[in-house]
Structures are given as structure tokens and as C-alpha cells.
């Protein structure tokens, strides 16, 4: 669960939230999972920061290009090649139609 939260939070986030809102042992395990996720994320950020010191500027320059409406990474109906709900497994693909 921690790896899923770190890699694709849009997929595991709702499941994680369900367990967080439940009672007892599930909530305890959910908070432990959050702690492990934070450790993984911080370790990854520190490692990437040492290897490539200008990664944040590269991220900021590539996000606007990838976020343009109708781009190949747009899961919505405005995508150039048409939406393909089977190509992406996340909630954004389904709700992008609305």
C-alpha cells in the first residue's frame, strides 16, 4: 500500500482513505502505511536531489507541456487520438468526460 501511495496516489488514495476512516486496527495500519510512504518519498526526493540538482526546474518546465488540453497525456475527450478509458487505470479517466 505504501508503494502504491508513493507511485500512484490517485489509484490507492481512495482505498487508503477508506481504511483511514474505519476504526480499530485498520486505522492504525493506515497511519503506519502513511509513515512508510513519507519515508519512501523523502528518501527518493533526497536521492534525486543529489543526483540531479536541477530536477525541480526540469519538472516545472515539462509539466506545462504535458498538461496541455488535448495532449497525448490528457485522459479526457479532448485528447488528439480520442479517449481510451482502457489505456489508463485511474479515476481521472472516468470523470474527465464530465
Domain ranges of the chain: 2-53
CB 86 within 8 A of CB 95: no
- DSSP string for residues in the chain: -HHHHHH-HHHHHHHHHHHHHS-THHHHHHHHHHHHHHHHHHHHHHHHHHH-TTHHHHHHHHHHHHTSTTSTT--STT-TT---GGG--SHHHHHTT-
pLDDT of residue 34: 92
- DSSP string for residues in 4-20: HHHH-HHHHHHHHHHHH
pLDDT of residue 19: 92
pLDDT of residue 74: 66
Q: pLDDT truncated to tens, each residue of the chain (98 aa)? A: 888 888 888 888 889 999 999 888 999 999 999 999 999 999 988 888 888 888 788 888 888 877 777 666 666 666 655 555 555 566 666 676 66
* Residue 74 DSSP class: -
pLDDT of residue 33: 93
pLDDT of residue 49: 82
pLDDT of residue 29: 93
Record the pTM: 0.55
Alpha carbons within 13 angstroms on the beta-carbon side of residue 70 total 2
Amino acid at each position: 500500500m505504501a508503494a502504491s501511495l508513493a507511485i500512484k496516489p490517485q489509484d490507492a488514495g481512495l482505498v487508503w482513505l477508506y481504511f483511514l476512516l474505519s476504526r480499530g486496527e485498520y486505522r492504525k495500519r493506515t497511519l503506519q502505511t502513511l509513515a512508510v510512504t513519507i519515508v519512501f518519498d523523502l528518501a527518493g526526493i533526497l536521492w534525486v536531489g543529489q543526483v540531479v540538482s536541477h530536477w525541480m526546474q526540469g519538472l516545472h518546465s515539462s509539466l506545462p507541456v504535458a498538461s496541455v488540453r488535448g495532449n497525448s497525456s490528457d485522459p479526457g475527450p479532448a485528447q488528439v487520438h480520442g479517449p481510451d478509458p482502457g489505456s489508463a487505470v485511474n479515476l481521472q479517466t472516468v470523470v474527465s468526460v464530465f
